[in-house]
């Protein structure tokens, strides 16, 4: 599912821009994985051996997993720091976000 710029996907709670230090690196990593995945599709269409396909799919999966891990760690580093300097409802909201995102670890 592609999300047009300025739109909010289902499940996204905040409409504010949420950009962290690592986002550009994560985007670059995902673009490489996207290209790699396109190549794997070409390999399937070319009827390459299953072992080759499995190895390449594993590499794509690992790249995406590493991007997710980096995103979550960056979020935790940034948002928990912010929460430490807040009180009341604002701090509880950040802690709630942390609990929500931690299920993807």
pLDDT in tens, 53-72: 999 999 999 999 999 988 88
**Domain 23-102 listed as CATH 3.40.50.300:** no
Kindly state the average pLDDT of the residues 12-38. 80
Count Cβ atoms below 10 Å from residue 67 Cβ, excluding itself: 19
pTM of the complete model: 0.66
Are 63 and 29 contacting, i.e. CB atoms less than 8 angstroms apart?
yes
Are 56 and 35 contacting, i.e. CB atoms less than 8 angstroms apart?
no
Give the dihedral sign, CA 58/62/65/67. Answer: negative
Cα separation, 74 vs 72, whole angstroms: 5
Token pair recorded at residue 65: 């997993």
């Amino acid at each position: 599912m592609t999300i047009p710029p300025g739109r909010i996907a289902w499940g996204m709670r905040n409409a504010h821009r949420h950009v962290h230090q690592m986002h550009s690196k994560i985007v670059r990593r995902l673009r490489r994985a996207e290209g790699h995945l396109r190549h794997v599709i070409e390999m399937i269409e070319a009827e390459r051996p299953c072992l080759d396909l499995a190895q390449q799919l594993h590499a794509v999966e690992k790249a995406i997993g590493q991007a997710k891990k980096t995103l979550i760690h960056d979020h935790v580093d940034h948002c928990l720091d912010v929460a430490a300097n807040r009180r009341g409802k604002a701090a509880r909201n950040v802690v709630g976000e942390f609990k929500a995102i931690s299920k993807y670890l």
